[in-house]
């Protein structure tokens, strides 16, 4: 079991990629702390993990607010004395043409997709520094490499995630803390269905080298790699999980 007795905090854990990460990590022996503002769905995922024999605890919280992240971090430290892994996954991606975008829409996107990671990192990193050990995985997006219309606020926020990853990896390396990033492509999730038509999804897939829809589990498996000892020689890296859409 790659994560036996490791403690992991996962944001946006109630659905999609976050849920897949939580389930996979628990199956690999991790004690998973699930943070999501959808309290009912988050609780359901945690209960399902426990029913399958895993360890999970759910917390309802909005990642835009540091005070709502703190209880999950405090609980992990109190119970197990560690946060070994942080998965910064929470995010939103509504479409909006730039010239019709309100300042509030821009600010909301940056707050959820980027500033939330600032809050989570400031809460978790001191404990990792004290233990001289830690793995952080930030979820960005392949759209940063592509540039996509009607998503300027989203692509900007995800580019910020890559910058955060690279800079902080330099700063935290001396403390033996690994900070890496994943740029998912078009992932088949419940959230995607609210913004992407079936025709658009087929167009995305046609741009991939692998001609199948990617699933949350595809991303979760790379999170597992980056959170385990298998990636001990890596930090500051950005890995595409996009079916071979973008290559660099």
What is the pLDDT at residue 105? 97
Closest CA to 153 of 102, 204, 89: 102
Rounded CA separation 218/210 (Å): 12
Task: State the average pLDDT over residues 114-126.
Answer: 98
CATH 3.40.50.720 holds for 7-241? yes
CB 28, CB 20: distance < 8 Å: no
List, edge to edge, every strand of the sheet that includes 238-241.
55-60, 31-36, 7-11, 85-88, 134-139, 177-184, 238-241
Task: State the average pLDDT over residues 7-27.
Answer: 98
**Residue corresponding to tokens 């628990």:** 26
What lies within 8 Å, CB to CB, of 171 at 6+ separation is none
Average pLDDT value for the chain: 96
pLDDT tens figures, 160-212: 999 999 999 999 999 999 999 999 999 999 888 888 888 999 999 999 999 99
Q: Is 154 a catalytic residue?
A: yes
What is the pLDDT at residue 42? 98
Closest CA to 158 of 180, 141, 137: 141
Task: Considering the candidates 25, 154, 204, 245, report the single residue annotated as catalytic.
Answer: 154
Task: State the average pLDDT over residues 11-25.
Answer: 98
Q: Where are the domains of the chain?
A: 7-241
Its pTM stands at 0.97
What is the pLDDT at residue 133? 98
């Amino acid at each position: 079991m790659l994560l036996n007795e490791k403690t992991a905090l996962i944001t946006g854990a109630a659905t999609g990629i976050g849920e897949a990460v939580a389930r996979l990590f628990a199956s690999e022996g991790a004690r998973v702390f699930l943070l999501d503002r959808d309290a009912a769905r988050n609780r359901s995922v945690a209960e399902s993990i426990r029913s399958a024999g895993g360890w999970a605890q759910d917390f309802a919280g909005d990642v835009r607010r540091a005070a709502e992240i703190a209880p999950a971090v405090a609980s992990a430290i109190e119970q197990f004395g560690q946060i070994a892994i942080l998965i910064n996954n929470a995010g939103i991606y509504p479409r909006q043409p730039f010239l019709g975008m309100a300042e509030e829409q821009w600010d909301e996107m940056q707050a959820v997709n980027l500033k939330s990671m600032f809050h989570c990192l400031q809460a978790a990193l001191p404990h990792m520094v004290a233990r001289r050990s830690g793995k952080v995985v930030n979820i960005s997006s392949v759209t940063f490499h592509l540039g996509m219309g009607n998503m300027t606020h989203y692509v900007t926020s995800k580019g910020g995630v890559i910058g955060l990853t690279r800079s902080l990896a330099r700063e935290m390396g001396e403390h033996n803390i690994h900070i890496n990033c994943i740029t998912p492509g078009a992932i088949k999730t419940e959230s995607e269905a609210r913004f992407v038509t079936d025709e658009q999804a087929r167009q995305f897939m046609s741009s991939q080298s692998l001609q199948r829809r990617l699933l949350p589990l595809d991303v979760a498996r790379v999170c597992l790699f980056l959170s385990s000892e298998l990636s001990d020689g890596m930090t500051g890296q950005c890995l595409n999980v996009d079916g071979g859409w973008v290559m660099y």
